[in-house]
């Protein structure tokens, strides 16, 4: 048996602007995504077997440990890609990133699975790993490659951007999850869709090493904001907070010392990081 442990970071969307809807049902976006120091951990063990098998386990009771899990899908895709027919995989997921929170918790675990398996079997180059990630979802490539990235198309086309250093505080309603499908559907129903071009403005600010906080923006925030009192409470108490991804997690680029009560999870002491999924 051989095994590896992979550290899988969360991401936040510093900007997220919807360009248009695609024929495949996804949306083209422009987004600047940043990896932060909040991690899931995967322990991947592989041994010889008469037939291929994938067994998942983990610490969370909020996610499925079967073929619905993106870790399972990533492992299955990798095995098919490299022709692994005689291997049993045991993958344990230590879950610390909140679920359905706009933080790419599932995506980073999927990317980490591909990285971990490739560490064990050394069958793919970096381009091929990125191609597998792109076929599985929109945020996996950012999580695989790390740091700060401009993400376009449906999020899988990425360009690395200069590193910036900011502290991060996350604020999440404990009993609320918002799916990407819900957020994008509600955005599509909006009659007024302003175009502020914040992604381009932040892109320039990053290149010039200027303050980026005035360009933080998310098109999806307004689409779901009116439907959830929890989001309204966050914004009322912390006006500068911005929603990440499809939400419902908000973030501020500061070490925020605040208590919103038992209904909210506050994750303090985080920072921008320049790595993505990595072997530890």
Q: Report in angstroms the alpha-carbon separations of 223 from 98, 176, 211, 245.
A: 21, 16, 27, 12
Whole-number Å distance between alpha carbons of 148 and 33: 6
Would you call 139 a catalytic residue per the annotation?
yes
Say which residues have a Cβ less than 8 Å from residue 27's Cβ, sequence separation at least 6.
Answer: 18, 19, 20, 21, 154, 184, 187
- Name the residue among 14, 13, 9 with its Cα closest to residue 36: 9
Q: Catalytic one among 7, 11, 30, 172?
A: 11
- CB-count burial class (<10 Å; 0-12, 13-18, 19+) for 194: exposed
Adjacent-strand bridge partners of 242 = 251
Residue 153 CB neighbour total at 10 angstroms: 16
The first and second tokens of residue 245, run together, are 């991804």
Q: Catalytic one among 139, 172, 186, 219?
A: 139
Would you call 61 a catalytic residue per the annotation?
no
Answer whether 272's CB lies under 8 Å from 164's CB. yes
Cis before residue 72, ω within 30 degrees of 0? no
Answer whether 55's CB lies under 8 Å from 22's CB. no
Answer whether 172's CB lies under 8 Å from 256's CB. no
Residues with a catalytic annotation lie at: 11, 139
């Amino acid at each position: 048996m051989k095994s590896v442990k992979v550290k899988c970071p969360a991401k936040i969307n510093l900007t997220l602007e919807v360009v248009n809807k695609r024929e495949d049902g996804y949306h083209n976006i422009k987004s600047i995504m940043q990896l932060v120091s909040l991690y899931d951990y995967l322990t991947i063990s592989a041994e010889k077997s008469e037939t291929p098998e994938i067994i998942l386990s983990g610490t969370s009771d909020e996610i499925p440990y079967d073929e619905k899990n993106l870790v399972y899908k990533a492992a299955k895709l990798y095995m098919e890609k490299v022709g692994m027919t005689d291997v049993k995989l045991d993958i344990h997921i230590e879950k610390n990133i909140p679920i359905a929170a706009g933080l790419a918790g599932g995506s980073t675990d999927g990317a980490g699975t591909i990285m971990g398996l490739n560490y064990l079997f050394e069958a793919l180059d970096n381009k091929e790993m990125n191609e597998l990630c792109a076929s599985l979802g929109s945020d996996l490539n950012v999580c695989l490659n790390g740091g700060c990235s401009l993400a376009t198309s449906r999020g899988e086309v990425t360009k690395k951007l200069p590193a910036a250093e900011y502290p991060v505080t996350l604020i999440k309603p404990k009993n609320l999850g918002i799916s990407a499908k819900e957020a994008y559907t509600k955005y599509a129903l909006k009659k007024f869709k302003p175009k502020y071009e914040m992604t381009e403005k932040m892109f320039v600010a990053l290149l010039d090493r200027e303050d980026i906080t005035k360009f933080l923006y998310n098109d999806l925030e307004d689409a779901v904001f009116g439907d959830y009192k929890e989001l309204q409470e966050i914004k009322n108490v912390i006006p500068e907070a911005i929603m990440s991804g499809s939400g419902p997690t908000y973030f501020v680029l500061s070490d925020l010392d605040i208590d919103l009560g038992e209904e909210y999870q506050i994750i303090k002491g985080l920072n921008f990081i320049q790595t993505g999924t990595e072997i530890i």
